[in-house]
Structure 1
Amino acid sequence: MNDDEQEKAPYDIEDTLLLMRLFKTGDLFFVNPCIEISDDQLLSQMPYPVMVYTHTTNKYKLESDECRVFNVFASEILSCSNWSSSWFKTARRFFLYGGGKEYNPRHDSIDRVVDYITVAETILVPEKDFVGRRLRERAAVLLKKHDDISDVRNLLKHFYAVRSTVVHGGDISPFKDGILKRNLDFENVIRKLILEALRVFPAGDDRKNFLKQLFDICDKTRGEKVFNDFCAIKNENEKNRCYEKITKKLS
């Protein structure tokens, strides 16, 4: 193996891990991958967040008769123009991070959910407002040919709530006997979102327009939020000042 091949090998290994995880669900890890160099010595790859191992009961299984199908799948996905896009570079990183973390709600080990919701946000929501709503509705439209869209909405709504509870330091106990038991369904939705986005998203800034066409927030929804926020103002002086600004804007 020459120097260029040695330099490229770790990236090929990571690509292979990613493609295999995208191909089907199941926990898969590459432990201590090595590169054989010209003098028959082995170079071991140092551990990093993608190349880790954790305990799992949901082991990845690839049958021999699936190998040809996987090769066709891998060739197709690698040829997608979005494979080198900036949004996908971020999405793949968090998808790989999440897949390397233990999932065990009994021991509060559900950080994987945070990473996978980050993947969905990276793909579907370049905006900074109404994130949960945009995420659910755009995912449902994007996957409507493949899945029950009401179930897609339901999964993403509840796992987004789990994610918010985790990152804001809340108690996940109420979720343990409910939605957290559907982690495989949730992970399958995330996997399908990545694949569909790779296949159908236009390049560059056209992606943002494409996402708006899938779903965007209507003025009625924005108006309701403005009204509710206005009603939430407790200080009368601030409420009057806000009212004056709005009436002045409308006059």
Structure 2
Amino acid sequence: MTQKEKTICINQAVDSYFKRNHNESIVSAITLWESELTNHFSSAKTLRGFLRTLRDNNKLKEAIPSIDPCIKEKNTSWFFLKSPFIGNCFPPNGYTKMKQVNLSKNIKAKCKDEKYVLDLCDEILDAISSRQHRFDFLRGDAGTMLPVDGFYEKYNLVVEYFERQHSESVPFFDKRETVSGVSRGEQRKSYDDRRKTVLKAHNIELVIISFSDFYFDSQRRIIPNINNDKMIVKKHLQKHIP
């Protein structure tokens, strides 16, 4: 199958799945494959590989609007949302009840906060960011393209949301060793610095918005206050507001 044909199959599979499962609002890639796509992709791994190809070519969201990737420290978990929830991180009444979703609380909260902030940026800038965008010139130690949280081509602007791991020591994340032989904490700092240096060298502005800019709870998760949060984000994006 061609890339276009594969994309059509996935979009049709998502529609078919939710028509048959009325009470669900989110489905994992492996569940979608098992339910709808075994005749089109040889395995769930093949499906995920195709999604990564679209992502690396910055075509993912355009090709599959329902896609909702959740970026982990090392891997990406792939999910598809029922159409009314596209653009949100997790459906408010469906997500926590679904047995097939098995993410840690840290990952779920990180995705939720990051998307909350980027959604505010989209609204304020009147533009849709390319989420988890990859530049060919920005790569990690193993040669893989490093993602940025949101890229606004219109403004030549990258927005990064920094959760607590970027400013505090978090042993759960930081102690694990990477392929480079350094800890995750050391690698994260190195990659944060690399993004700043490389983006600047390519005349791309970087705006960093931290959890500490907002009201947050004991787990350093944002406590939403829309009006106040919009003011905070506007200060960061002031020069770009149309």
- TM-score tier by shorter-chain length is under 0.3
The structure with the largest strand share of the pair is 2
The structure with the largest helix share of the pair is 1
When normalised by structure 1's length, the TM-score is 0.27
Bigger radius of gyration = 1
When normalised by structure 2's length, the TM-score is 0.28
